Amino acid sequence: MTLQDTQKNPIELTVYLLKNFGPLIIFYAANHYYGLKPAIVCAIGFTMVEVLYLLVKKQPFSSFFKFSAGMTIVFGLADLILENPMFFKFEPTVTNLVTAFFFGASLWTEKTLIQEFTEKRDGNKEMTAERIQRCRWLTLIWVGYFFVKAIIYFFVAEKYSIEEALLIRSTYGTISFYILLGWSIFLSKSFLAKIPNSLKI
């Protein structure tokens, strides 16, 4: 499935997004309509269904899937079980920092996380040196996003009550995530093509 295919077929685009960002999308949607705890349960449930599906189909678990599934289940269960208000206040900061470091660490592996997503999306399309470099830049942008969001969440947790902080994160965190996701899928290619080839990471 190529990017052009997903742009033409909303159903294929939805399937692609759910395969890669399913728990996050489910969490944000459920949190908006039903609240925090139902959203956590939905995200954990969706993750478990994904795990079972891959096991039944005997498909390999990608490194990002292992990471996101682990984060969803571990932190989700902790949210449901623990009653410590400090954990609720600063957990989003920690999870965003961990995610930033995970994305960043992939810059030192054979393939970045963004390259893994791209190869899944584009199938047999050749990964040229130019495309690989674009994936590395896009990975770096996502690292910056999660790192900046972690810092903002820390100051939000310090300044506002748990209820107010949750409302702020649910609103602006959700909006910023979808903006960056949409930009990454539809608009990043033309923007990153303007970066000189001499600037390699």
| Residue 197 forms part of a structural domain | no
Query: How many Å apart are CA 50 and CA 29, to the nearest integer?
Result: 18
- In this structure, what token pair is assigned to residue 60? 């390999």
| Residue 201 forms part of a structural domain | no
**What per-residue confidence (pLDDT) applies to 167?**
84
User: Which long-range contacts does 145-152 make (Cβ < 8 Å, 24+ apart)?
Assistant: 145/100, 145/176, 145/180, 146/96, 146/97, 146/99, 146/100, 146/103, 147/96, 147/97, 147/100, 149/96, 149/173, 149/176, 150/92, 150/93, 150/94, 150/96, 150/97, 150/100, 151/93
- In this structure, what token pair is assigned to residue 14? 């939805």
Amino acid at 24: L
| Residue 20 forms part of a structural domain | yes
| Residue 110 forms part of a structural domain | yes
Look over the chain and give the mean of its residue pLDDT values, rounded to a whole number.
Answer: 83
Say yes or no to pLDDT of 32 above 80: no
Nearest CA-CA partner of 12 in 119, 122, 112: 122
Between residues 182 and 14, the one the model is more confident about: 182
**What per-residue confidence (pLDDT) applies to 136?**
93
| Residue 89 forms part of a structural domain | yes
Q: What is the pLDDT of residues 68-126, one digit of tens each?
A: 888 888 888 888 887 676 777 888 999 999 999 999 999 999 899 889 888 877 777 88
Query: How many Å apart are CA 39 and CA 44, to the nearest integer?
Result: 9
Say yes or no to pLDDT of 9 above 60: no
Range of the domain at 105: 3-192
Angle between helices 36-57 and 10-34 (to 10 degrees): 150
**Overall pTM surpassing 0.85 (yes/no):** no
| Residue 144 forms part of a structural domain | yes
| Residue 71 forms part of a structural domain | yes
Domain count, the chain: 1
| Residue 198 forms part of a structural domain | no
Q: What is the pLDDT of residues 139-176, one digit of tens each?
A: 999 999 999 999 999 999 999 987 788 889 888 888 99
